[in-house]
Amino acid sequence: MMKKYLLIFLIVVPLVSMSLWGAKMYYLLDIWSYQGPDVTFQVRPGETFSTINYRLAKKGLISSSKAFHRYAQYKGVMEKFRKGSFLIKNESNMFAVFSSLLYGTSIGKRVTIPEGKNLFEIGKLLEKKGITSYAEFINSAKDPMLTRQLGIPADRIEGYLYPDTYRFSPKTKAREVIRAMVGQFKRQAKKLGLDGDKNRLHSIVILASIVEKETGAGKERPIIAGVFHNRLKKRMRLQSDPTTIYGIYEDFNGNLRKRHLRQKTDYNTYKMAGLPKGPISNPGLKSLGAVMNPAKHKYLYFVSQNDGTHVFSETYKQHRKAVNFFQKNRSARRGKSWRDLNKKK
């Protein structure tokens, strides 16, 4: 008799437990529904499942983070949620939320941030797309409190607005846009092993931002990075035109003159030794990688060949000769443009 009751206990109790667990999961996934107003939920580029799950639960958009996790794990789609902004409607159950993030169409506006754009140019792109206002973006990007919150050792966010394609809802707060871009930067930089010393990272970002502005030719980035490394080792000034322009960017009319090169700013590398105060653009992985692994050579100078590429020289005499030929010789400039690079790709 005891064996009979023990057998019943061993069979019935697990069955009852499984039935209760199944009923609970059915309730959490299918019966429970979100009772708030329609809301837009943004999945940020590169965001992990755990972060998405946590934010959904915190906003009350799902009934249980554990149930959501188990269901996504069961379906094998924890890394397949689409990035973008998705509408979560009133009375949506967890199945509906799950389906929206996995198969739904983003309602956000698509914006591509090209490599080498500075924060002012990015602000204009975002305003043109109706994502956030230029003034709000610039004010936020220059807010030292925000940079500190994001772990950036600088007074502005320049250099960390990772160039990529994003989707944002119209009239998104500038700080949310910045956080998404900086988050993407950190994820990409980690691939290069740049997730350690913040000050070392900042120096790499500064130099990479200069390399990014100096050339659009991918194969030249390590060479130019090597030139700047060589000059820094010799304690020579970098003498980079793009840094000078950035220091006067908000008042710059497009024509760089000798008086600008003589003007003292925190970014004019004609007047200062070492690196400028901060980055001058937002570099991509190739420029970051070039600075981390510069080409080994003895070049100290380079000058444009007027087609987007450069001539490199070891001595000032060689450099002056190249300048005279490519910059002071009209025939060497005639019919050429940096846009010719696109034809060579």
Beta bridge partners of 168: 109
Q: What DSSP line would sit under 112-160, residue for residue?
A: E--TT--HHHHHHHHHHTTSS-HHHHHHHHT-HHHHHHTT-SSSS-TT-
Q: What is the pLDDT of residues 110-138, one digit of tens each?
A: 899 999 999 999 999 999 999 999 999 99
Q: If pLDDT is split at 50, 70 and 90, which confidence band does 106 have?
A: confident
**What integer pLDDT is reported at residue 345 of this predicted model?**
46
pLDDT at 29 over 80: no
- Helix pair 65-75, 94-103: axis angle to 10 deg: 50
Element (H, E) at 85: strand 84-88
**What integer pLDDT is reported at residue 343 of this predicted model?**
45
Q: What are the residue boundaries of the structural domains of the chain, listed by start?
A: 37-107, 115-182, 198-344
Residue 151 φ/ψ region, left for φ over 0, alpha for ψ in the -120 to 50 degree band, beta for the rest: left
**What integer pLDDT is reported at residue 104 of this predicted model?**
82
Q: How many CB atoms lie within 10 A of CB 6?
A: 10
**What integer pLDDT is reported at residue 260 of this predicted model?**
84
Q: If pLDDT is split at 50, 70 and 90, which confidence band does 236 have?
A: very high
Kindly state the percentage of the chain with pLDDT values over 70: 87
List all residues 6 or more positions away from 113 whose beta carbon is below 8 Å from its beta carbon: 122, 125, 161, 162, 163, 164, 165, 166, 181, 282
pLDDT at 277 over 70: yes
**What integer pLDDT is reported at residue 341 of this predicted model?**
58
Q: Are 38 and 87 in contact (CB under 8 A)?
A: yes
The CATH H-level (homologous superfamily) assignment of domain 37-107 is Endolytic murein transglycosylase (3.30.1490.480)
